[in-house]
Chains A and B, each alone.
Chain A
Amino acid sequence: MKLLKSLLCISLFIAGSSIALAKQSQSSLDQMHQGYTQAEQCLECHGSYEENAAKTAELGKWNPHNSIHGGYVDCTNCHEQNKLTKNYCSYCHEYKPDLKK
């Protein structure tokens, strides 16, 4: 079971790495995320919250994973499985990381 999960994670990583592939296999990517509804599940495959914060560090003070307001921020607030469903930052701020680093 554990091996299966690891394999799943690896294949997910590969799928996610290539945009072209991800586009092609959208439905299988969706399928792969079925049942993954809790933040803890997200982190199992996608790395720790801190690792994700580091991945988006180039967004500077607009980094949603390391904002001035403090984390940890539960993944499911903005992400629903493999989709980004809302940007909570933009609810109060004009979210323009490119302009206001």
Chain B
Amino acid sequence: MSKFKTDISRRDFLKNAGTAGIAVGAASVFGTAVAGESKHLEDKSVYEKAFGDDVQQIYVKKGKSQGPKGPIGFEDRKIAKNEITKEYNCDIAVVGGGMSGLIAALKGAEDGAKVVLIEKMTEGRGAFECFGAVDSRTQREAGIKTDKAVLLGEMHRSANYRIGPDVVRTYVEKSGEASDFMEQMFEKAGTGVVIAPMPLRPKYPNTGAPVIDAECMFYNTPGLPKDVRFRSGHVGLYIIQDLTKIAKKHPNITAKYSTPAAQLVIDSSGRVTGVIAKEDGKYVKINAKKGVILATGGYDANPEMMKAYLRPEDYSSASWWNPCWGTTGDGHMMGLKVGAAMDPVPHAVMNFTFGSPESFHIPAVRTLRAMGLYAMVNDDGERFVREDTAFQFISNATNRQASFGKQSWLLFDDTMISKNKETFDKAIAAFKVLKEKGWLFEANSPSELEKLMKMPKGNLVNTVKKFNAFKKDGKDQDFNRDMEFAKAFDGNKIYALVCNSVILATVSGLIIDEHGRVLNTKGEVIKGLYAAGNASGDFFSGNYPRHIPGTSMGRAITFGYLSAKHAITGV
């Protein structure tokens, strides 16, 4: 157990660090674990090497990861005793100050543990507006009864049954309790964060998936700044700020920011006893008597890990949205280094549609009734997916098109833009900028549009004709879209808006049990080590199931809470 799974020499480490070497000024608190491409083609990256020699390689062409690059905290080399300048002692060390880390720290502290919370960035990440939960206080009071069996069944189906039963079952059973704990923390802060049940909107009624009522939201929070207008995604930032404020004030919590974790400390019995981090550019050791909780998030801001563990088509043509780039998979790597098991590759990505080539089409898409009415076509003017399916499936279909160099487009006409005059005018005004960027095309007819966009002659005309006939007959013969909620193309203007897949996060990670304890490759508990949120696994496979409400945030809250609750016991 005490043996490291991987053995990567210091020489390799330096080689992978690229031309920079380790000439890091006192200014930088971060290591140079793996920055940049390896100079030698035959060299595998540290992320590929992490699986050791007994690894089967599945050969795929590497894609190009165009996403942001975050600062890496993980260090693979052996950090010598004499490099440690300071030691801290606590009961529980929490690595990461996002949702799961904050909930873990607060739960531990509330139960009387001394907690050290370290976060690599100056702020924890929060990009959400809802979270999944079952039987939370607000849901109980609203009389919402979630069919737990249906929820559980759909979680398994969505993961293609590639997961164990314990973690998802625990989520379904304990998310309400965890949500209620979080609510108590908001009450303590007194800034007016309000949790309410997310109104059930049957978005995907005809795709074979059940509509599940198991989500709460922060939309109605009166404590939010007034300028937070587009609340989806933005609310989370303020929720995290709120929880951070409570954590920083808590007498049992020492919160350290700009303090990246580099690696775990294990004793001779294989128990994780602490974590080595960098504080003000110097190594410090945090001894954690009862456990270390990895709450480091996914690795969407680590291009090398994206290439190592994801399908190339998932990231090669996608856009990125999340603005906080601390998610570089430090927890995954620290766990692997002490022998943890991880979800099998390829990992699951949380993807979404409505992407511009840079991020989300936020202003334009908001103004469209076309959110639900558009048809989707490729560069050849042909449909390739049912447009009313769950967003992750549209995203996958878009990526499939992009694999062969074909861009995806939302096709709509002026009758599909909002009927509200003010919103309509706003949309038309927004189109101007989109046209200048080459992201939107406008024409008076499908034939004019296909010419403008250099599509094969007749294709788009034919697609629109077919689509209108499907609407008339009430049956989509090509993709079985529910035509009741579609609209015929009969306007004066027709538009095509470029549509990318967008990466929000990665959601596969270290295998845990029902208490959040990390397991090794034999399925045994690694004592003293916990993982929560997007650093943890055994929950998703293939894609993040966007049609099941809020399981990512719900998981973060639930397993942040449960990890701390179990760690307290010191077992």
Instruction: Check if A and B associate.
Output: yes
On whether the beta carbons of B29 and A72 are closer than 8 Å, the reply is yes
Can you list, as one digit per residue, whether each of A35-78 has a CB less than 8 Å from chain B (1) or not (0)?
Answer: 10111110110011111000000000000001111111110110
Q: Which A residues touch B27, using CB under 8 A?
A: 43, 47-51
On whether the beta carbons of A72 and B122 are closer than 8 Å, the reply is yes
Total interface residues on B, using CB and 8 Å? 36
Closest to B237 in A: A68
User: Mind listing 18 A-B residue pairs with CB under 8 Å?
Assistant: A38-B18, A38-B20, A38-B32, A39-B28, A40-B30, A41-B23, A48-B27, A69-B323, A69-B324, A70-B122, A72-B29, A73-B325, A74-B68, A74-B70, A74-B325, A88-B68, A88-B323, A92-B362
On whether the beta carbons of B69 and A76 are closer than 8 Å, the reply is yes
Total interface residues on A, using CB and 8 Å? 28
Q: Chain A nearest CB: distance from B502 CB in Å?
A: 11
On whether the beta carbons of A49 and B20 are closer than 8 Å, the reply is no
Q: Which A residues touch B123, using CB under 8 A?
A: 68-70
6 closest residue pairs by CB, A with B: A48-B27, A70-B123, A70-B121, A38-B20, A69-B323, A91-B358
Closest to B26 in A: A48
Closest to B27 in A: A48
B290 in contact (CB, < 8 A): no
Q: A47-B27, A72-B120 are in contact. List 13 more A-B contacts (CB 8 A).
A: A37-B20, A38-B35, A40-B20, A40-B23, A40-B25, A41-B20, A48-B26, A70-B326, A72-B28, A72-B258, A74-B71, A91-B358, A92-B358
Q: Chain A nearest CB: distance from B83 CB in Å?
A: 18
Interface residues of A (CB under 8 A from B): 35, 37-41, 43-44, 47-51, 66-74, 76-77, 88, 90-92
Q: Which A residues touch B124, using CB under 8 A?
A: 70
Closest to A46 in B: B27
B221 in contact (CB, < 8 A): no
On whether the beta carbons of A69 and B237 are closer than 8 Å, the reply is yes
The complex places the Cα of A37 from the Cα of B19 at a distance, in Å, of 8
On whether the beta carbons of B20 and A70 are closer than 8 Å, the reply is no
On whether the beta carbons of B122 and A43 are closer than 8 Å, the reply is no
Closest to B120 in A: A72
Closest to A48 in B: B27
The complex places the Cα of A41 from the Cα of B22 at a distance, in Å, of 10
Q: Which A residues touch B125, using CB under 8 A?
A: 69-70
Can you list, as one digit per residue, whether each of B481-519 has a CB less than 8 Å from chain A (1) or not (0)?
Answer: 000000000000000000000000000000000000000
The complex places the Cα of A66 from the Cα of B258 at a distance, in Å, of 12
Q: Chain B nearest CB: distance from A72 CB in Å?
A: 5
Closest to A47 in B: B27
The complex places the Cα of A48 from the Cα of B125 at a distance, in Å, of 23
On whether the beta carbons of B28 and A92 are closer than 8 Å, the reply is no
Q: Chain B nearest CB: distance from A101 CB in Å?
A: 13
Q: Chain B nearest CB: distance from A56 CB in Å?
A: 15
On whether the beta carbons of A92 and B359 are closer than 8 Å, the reply is yes
Q: Which of B20, B121, B358, B360 contacts A72 (CB 8 A)?
A: B121
Q: Which A residues touch B69, using CB under 8 A?
A: 74, 76-77
B321 in contact (CB, < 8 A): yes
Q: Which B residues touch A43, using CB under 8 A?
A: 24-25, 27-28
On whether the beta carbons of A38 and B19 are closer than 8 Å, the reply is yes
Given A37-B36, A43-B27, A48-B28: A72 and B71 within 8 A (CB)? yes
The complex places the Cα of A69 from the Cα of B241 at a distance, in Å, of 10
On whether the beta carbons of B323 and A67 are closer than 8 Å, the reply is yes
Closest to B326 in A: A70
The complex places the Cα of A90 from the Cα of B358 at a distance, in Å, of 9
Q: Chain A nearest CB: distance from B68 CB in Å?
A: 5
The complex places the Cα of A88 from the Cα of B24 at a distance, in Å, of 25
The complex places the Cα of A47 from the Cα of B70 at a distance, in Å, of 19
Q: Chain B nearest CB: distance from A34 CB in Å?
A: 11
Q: Which A residues touch B25, using CB under 8 A?
A: 40, 43-44, 48
Q: Chain B nearest CB: distance from A58 CB in Å?
A: 19
Closest to B123 in A: A70
On whether the beta carbons of B324 and A70 are closer than 8 Å, the reply is yes
Q: Which of A40, A48, A50, A51 contacts B32 (CB 8 A)?
A: A40
Closest to A2 in B: B23
Closest to B21 in A: A40
The complex places the Cα of A71 from the Cα of B323 at a distance, in Å, of 10
| Chain B 33-54 interface residues, beta-carbon cutoff 8 Å to A | 35-36
Given A49-B28, A70-B326: A91 and B359 within 8 A (CB)? yes
Q: Which of A38, A47, A48, A90 neighbours the largest number of chain B CB atoms within 10 Å of its CB?
A: A38
Q: Which B residues touch A41, using CB under 8 A?
A: 19-20, 23
Q: Chain B nearest CB: distance from A37 CB in Å?
A: 6
The complex places the Cα of A77 from the Cα of B28 at a distance, in Å, of 16
The complex places the Cα of A48 from the Cα of B29 at a distance, in Å, of 10
Q: Chain B nearest CB: distance from A19 CB in Å?
A: 26
Q: Chain B nearest CB: distance from A54 CB in Å?
A: 12
| Chain B 216-268 interface residues, beta-carbon cutoff 8 Å to A | 237, 258
Given A72-B30, A72-B258, A91-B359: A40 and B121 within 8 A (CB)? no
The complex places the Cα of A41 from the Cα of B122 at a distance, in Å, of 21
Q: Which B residues touch A88, using CB under 8 A?
A: 68, 323
Q: Which B residues touch A38, using CB under 8 A?
A: 18-20, 32, 35-36
The complex places the Cα of A68 from the Cα of B325 at a distance, in Å, of 12
Q: Which of B20, B32, B35, B121 contacts A71 (CB 8 A)?
A: B121
On whether the beta carbons of B323 and A40 are closer than 8 Å, the reply is no
The complex places the Cα of A40 from the Cα of B125 at a distance, in Å, of 23
Q: Chain A nearest CB: distance from B1 CB in Å?
A: 34
Q: Chain A nearest CB: distance from B119 CB in Å?
A: 8
Q: Which B residues touch A35, using CB under 8 A?
A: 19
The complex places the Cα of A77 from the Cα of B358 at a distance, in Å, of 13
Q: Which B residues touch A66, using CB under 8 A?
A: 122
Q: Which A residues touch B362, using CB under 8 A?
A: 92
Q: Which B residues touch A39, using CB under 8 A?
A: 28, 35, 71
Closest to B281 in A: A48
